[in-house]
Structure 1
Amino acid sequence: MSKSNTGCYTITSIYRESQTAPEGYVELGKVRSNFLVTTFVVYSYGRNSLKREMAIKKKVLPIREELGCYETIQIFLGFKGPRKMTTLMHILTRDGKRSKYRPANESEMLLKTQSFVLNFYRRVAQASVNNFQIDNDLDFIVMQFGRVERDPFTTD
């Protein structure tokens, strides 16, 4: 998008009501990056809750959904070195559907979430960046790995 301080990309699709109608473009959502192009947030089509919309067309739209985001961090091995990528998405409901999330202010956005707490059910005794869990359901953990003491780790 022109006149934008950050990278902003519009996701569109071709739409046609009938075979005789001309093709048109419909906006599906947006991807917006920060100034350094290290963080990207994916939104559905709708009104930005953080901005006061001036156009009448935008005022009647629902607040846009925040679909997910990812952040890349350069590891200190030079510009072409490896990067760490963090992806955040909202969890699915028990029946496998995506819950709708429309943040009303900046503190409710995914990127403002700074910590996560995993329940290792007393199997892990120490905090570590290597601790992780893999689950396939909201109540069933397939695998967990974590620090027990200074050097030993456990996996279940």
Structure 2
Amino acid sequence: MSPRTVPFALLVLTLAAGCGEEFSPGEARFGVDLLVDKAVAADLSAFQLAVLPNGKERNCTEIQKQCLSLQVKANELLILRDGQGTQGRVLRFPVNLTGSGVTSQDVAIEVPVGRDYALVIEGLSQDNPPRLLGSSCNYLPEVNASRNDPILAAPMTLLSVDCNPTIGG
């Protein structure tokens, strides 16, 4: 199977700054609303989120063709934090989908304030070790400490690549 865009596996990134708990100075909180078709959800175990600097230099189409773990070194990724204070270069969120038909899951991440980033969201399979089920790569031109415009994430590209997408934090 060749990579293809799957509209029903759409991932949507929306702003949640100003909501929820306090966050550290120099970081902006984003809410990520993950929308997934129930048929695809059966194979998912987790979503893995990572942010790369120098987003304009990245080719999102190429990034989505294989595991990010094969394309970058862990120390290239920005340090992120989730809503519970867990910190790492990669944040994983176990699948906890709600709804029927198209299901959703809300997660929150804190991203360092800055410019020119690429957000990569990977869907991990339930296999051990996990396989990459799909990837979404999105340009973040600017992340402000105050108000940020909502960002609509690119549709997830479904893959048939046999690679382990996990990246050590």
- What range is the shorter-chain TM-score in? under 0.3
Higher helix share: 2
What is the TM-score when the length of structure 1 is the normalising length? Answer: 0.24
Structure with bigger RCO (C-alpha 8 Å, 6+ apart): 2
User: Which of the pair has more CA radius of gyration?
Assistant: 1
Higher strand share: 2
